[in-house]
Amino acid sequence: MASVLTTVMAPDEVLLPLATPQIASMASPLVYPLAKAMVGQWVRLGCILDPAIQLLAMRLGLSEGALLRVKAKLPAGPLVVVCGQTELALGRELCHAIPVHPLE
C-alpha cells in the first residue's frame, strides 16, 4: 500500500517520515498547521485528525502525503494552495486543522 502511495505522490522528493495519528501533534517541529506555511512554500500533507476535515480533504484529492504549494495567503484570511493542477482556496480556520510537513 505504502509503495503505491509513494509512487504516486513523491517520485522525486526526499521522503520525510509520514506522521501516524499518534505523533501528528502540532508540537513537533516537522509538523505544523497549513495556516502557518509561507507563501511559495512546498509542503506535504500530514495526517488530518478531525474526521470531517479528513473526509473533505480526501474528496478534494488531498490525501496524506500529497504535495501542496502555498500560492497566496490573505491577511487573517484564506490560503490558496496548488495541488497538481487544482487551485483551491481554503478558509483560514480550516487551514489550522490541516497538519503539514515542510519541504523547504
Partner 1 sequence: MPPVLPSWLLPPNVVAALSAPPAKPVATKPLRTAVNAKGPLDWSQPQAIVLAGNPNVGKSVVFNAITGLYANVSNFPGTTVDIPKGWLDSIHPIEDTPGVYGLSRLSEEETVAEKAIVAADVVINVVNATTLERDLFLTQQLIDYELPLVVALNQADEAKALGVMIDETVLSRLLGVPVVSTVATLHQGIDELKQALPLARVGNPTPGSVDATTTKELETNMASRMQVYGLRRQHVNAILSQVVSQISDKPHTWAQRFGESLGQWLLHPAFGLATLAVVLLALYQMVGIWVAGDLVGFTEETVMMQWIIPPIQKAIGLVVPQTSWVYVFLAGEFGVLTMSLQYIYGVLFPLVLGFYVYISLLEDSGYLPRIAVLSDTLLSRIGLNGRAVIPLILGFGCVTMATVSTRVLTTQRERTIASTILAVTIPCSAQIAVILALMAKAGGLRAWGVYLAFLFLILVALGTALNALLPGKSTPLVLDLPPMRLPSLNNVAKKTWIRTKAFIVEASPLFVLGSAIVGVLQITGLLQKIQVALAPLTVSWLHLPGEAATVFVMGMVRRDFGAAGLLGMANHLTNIQIITALITITLFVPCIASAAVFWKERGLKEATAILFGSWALAFGLGAAISRILEWLPLV
Contact set with partner 1 (CB under 8 A) = 1, 4-5, 7-9, 20-21, 47, 51-52, 54-56, 58-61, 63-64, 71-72, 74-78, 80, 83-94
CB of 8 to partner 1, least distance (A): 4
Between 4 and 27, CB nearer to partner 1? 4
Q: What angle do CA 96, 103, 95 make, to 5 degrees?
A: 10
Q: Where are the alpha helices (DSSP H) in 1-104?
A: 2-9, 51-59, 92-96
Between 28 and 86, CB nearer to partner 1? 86
CB of 59 to partner 1, least distance (A): 4
Going from the C-alpha of 13 to that of each of 46, 80, 83, 88, the distances in angstroms are: 15, 22, 15, 22
CB of 94 to partner 1, least distance (A): 4
**Residue 72 Cα to chain centre, angstroms:** 15
